[in-house]
Amino acid sequence: MVADTVSAVAPARPQIRIQGVVKSYAGRVVVNIDDTVLGASPIEGLIGPNGAGKTTLMRLIMHSTALDRGTISLLPPTGGEVVLSSQSSNRMAHHGVVKSNQVIMDFDRLTVLDSLLLAAAEGTYEQPHRIFSEKTVYRRHKDEIRHYLDFFGFADPTAFALSAGEKKLLDIVRCLLLKPTFLLLDEPTAGLPEDLTDKVMVVVRELAAAGTSVVIVEHDLNVIWNLCDEVLFMAEGSVILRGDPQSIRSHRTVVEKYLGEGHV
Amino acid sequence: MTFDFLDSFLITGLFSVVMVTGLALLLHLQLGLTRIANFGVVGFWGIGMYVFGVLYVKVDWSFGDPYQFLVCAAIATIASGLAGLLVGWLIADLDTDGVLVVTLGFATAVQLVATAQDDITGGARGMGGLDFPFDIGKVKDNELLWLGFTMAVVAGILFYVWRVHRSPYGRHLIAVGANERLARSLGKSTSRTKLWLFVIASAAMGLLGAMNGVMVRFLDIGNLGIDITLAAMAGLILGGTARVWGAVVGVFLTVGVFDIVIQSYLPLPREWYTQAIPVMREAIFGLTLIIVLLFRPYGILGDMRRDSLMRKIHGR
Amino acid sequence: MDFILQSLVIGLTENAPLVLAAIGFALLYKLTGLINVAYSETITLGAYFGMWLNTTYGLDFYTVLIPAGLLAGVVSLVTYLVLFRPAKRRNVGGLEMIIISFGLSIFLRHALQFVFGYPERFFDVPPPDTIMLFGVGVTSFRLLALASVAVISLLLWLFIQRTSYGLQMRALASDEALAKVSGIRPLAVTMLVWAIAGVAGGMAGAFYGVGTSVSPLLGWRQFLLILMVALVGRNWGLGGVIAVGICTSVALVAMALQFDQALYAQLVLIVIFIVILKVRGSRLAETAKV
pLDDT (tens digit per residue) in B254-300:
999 998 888 888 888 878 887 888 999 999 999 999 999 999 999 99
CATH class of the region B8-313? mainly alpha
The answer to whether the Cβ–Cβ distance between C290 and A103 falls below 8 Å is yes
Per-residue burial over C81-91, b if 16 or more Cβ lie within 10 Å, else e, is: eebbbebeeee
The share of chain A scoring above pLDDT 70, in percent, equals 94
Min Cα distance A168 → chain C (Å) is 16
Q: Which of C78, C88, C95, C235 should we substitute to test contact with B (largest number of B Cβ atoms within 10 Å)?
A: C95
- Kindly tell me if the per-residue pLDDT of A258 is higher than 80: no
Is B93 near chain A, with CB under 8 Å? Answer: no
**Would you tell me how many other CB atoms lie within 10 Å of the CB of residue B25?**
27
Looking at residue B2, what is its pLDDT? 58
The answer to whether the Cβ–Cβ distance between A118 and B168 falls below 8 Å is yes
Question: With contact defined as beta carbons under 8 Å apart, do B235 and B250 qualify?
Answer: yes
Is A86 near chain C, with CB under 8 Å? Answer: no
Looking at residue C236, what is its pLDDT? 79
Looking at residue C290, what is its pLDDT? 34
Is B233 near chain C, with CB under 8 Å? Answer: yes
Chain A residues inside the 8 Å CB shell of C286: 66
SS3 C163: coil
Looking at residue C282, what is its pLDDT? 60
The answer to whether the Cβ–Cβ distance between B187 and A91 falls below 8 Å is yes
Question: With contact defined as beta carbons under 8 Å apart, do C87 and C100 qualify?
Answer: yes
DSSP string, A57-71: HHHHHHTSS--SEEE
Looking at residue B91, what is its pLDDT? 92
How many Cβ contacts (< 8 angstroms) between chains A and B?
A: 127
- Kindly tell me if the per-residue pLDDT of B310 is higher than 80: yes
From the number of C-beta atoms within 10 Å of its C-beta (0-12, 13-18, 19+), residue B119 rates as exposed
Hey, which chains touch B, using 3+ CB pairs under 8 Å? A, C
Is A87 near chain C, with CB under 8 Å? Answer: no
Q: Compute the average pLDDT of residues C125-138.
A: 75
Most confident of C161-170, C197-206, C252-261: C197-206
Query: Among residues A86, A83, A65, A66, which one has the least CA distance to residue A74?
Result: A83
Min Cα distance C92 → chain A (Å) is 16
- Kindly tell me if the per-residue pLDDT of A61 is higher than 80: yes
Q: Which residue has the higher pLDDT, A188 or B80?
A: B80
The share of chain B scoring above pLDDT 70, in percent, equals 98
Looking at residue B199, what is its pLDDT? 97
Q: Which residue has the higher pLDDT, C240 or B81?
A: B81
Query: Among residues B144, B299, B163, which one has the least CA distance to residue B235?
Result: B299
Looking at residue B103, what is its pLDDT? 95
Nearest 5°: phi and psi at A215?
Answer: -120, 130
C127 contact partners, CB below 8 Å, separation of at least 6:
none
Summarised one tens digit per residue, pLDDT across range A215-251 is 999 888 888 888 899 999 988 889 988 888 888 888 8
Looking at residue B316, what is its pLDDT? 65
* pLDDT classification of A5: cutoffs 50, 70, 90: very low
Domain range annotation of chain B: 8-313
Looking at residue C289, what is its pLDDT? 36
**Would you tell me how many other CB atoms lie within 10 Å of the CB of residue A264?**
10
The share of chain C scoring above pLDDT 90, in percent, equals 37
C59 contact partners, CB below 8 Å, separation of at least 6:
C53
Radius of gyration of the CA atoms of chain A, in A: 19
Is C105 near chain B, with CB under 8 Å? Answer: yes
Handedness of CA B127, B132, B135, B136 (dihedral sign): negative
By C-alpha distance, the chain C residue nearest A87 is C286
- Kindly tell me if the per-residue pLDDT of C288 is higher than 70: no
Min Cα distance C171 → chain B (Å) is 23
Is B171 near chain A, with CB under 8 Å? Answer: yes
The answer to whether the Cβ–Cβ distance between A110 and B163 falls below 8 Å is no
* pLDDT classification of C159: cutoffs 50, 70, 90: confident
Summarised one tens digit per residue, pLDDT across range A149-190 is 999 988 888 999 888 888 999 999 999 999 999 999 999 888
Chain B residues inside the 8 Å CB shell of C263: 112, 115-116
Q: Which residue has the higher pLDDT, C44 or A48?
A: C44
Summarised one tens digit per residue, pLDDT across range A98-123 is 999 888 888 988 999 999 999 999 98
Looking at residue A264, what is its pLDDT? 44
Nearest to C98 among B93, B94, B96 (CB): B96
Min Cα distance C281 → chain A (Å) is 14
Average pLDDT of chain C is 86
Chain B residues inside the 8 Å CB shell of A130: 167-169
Is C231 near chain B, with CB under 8 Å? Answer: yes
* pLDDT classification of C157: cutoffs 50, 70, 90: confident
Summarised one tens digit per residue, pLDDT across range B160-176 is 999 999 999 999 999 99
Q: Compute the average pLDDT of residues C113-125.
A: 88
- Kindly tell me if the per-residue pLDDT of C44 is higher than 90: yes
The answer to whether the Cβ–Cβ distance between B289 and C100 falls below 8 Å is yes
Q: Compute the average pLDDT of residues C221-227.
A: 93
* pLDDT classification of B139: cutoffs 50, 70, 90: confident
By C-alpha distance, the chain C residue nearest B98 is C277
How many Cβ contacts (< 8 angstroms) between chains A and C?
A: 8
Looking at residue B3, what is its pLDDT? 63
The answer to whether the Cβ–Cβ distance between C290 and A66 falls below 8 Å is no
Looking at residue C186, what is its pLDDT? 79
The answer to whether the Cβ–Cβ distance between A131 and B314 falls below 8 Å is no
Looking at residue C52, what is its pLDDT? 93
- Kindly tell me if the per-residue pLDDT of C192 is higher than 80: yes
Could you tell me the CA-to-CA distances from A207 to A43, C257, C272 in Å, in that order? 10, 70, 52
Q: C133: which strand partners?
A: C136
Helix spans in B28-66 (H): 41-58
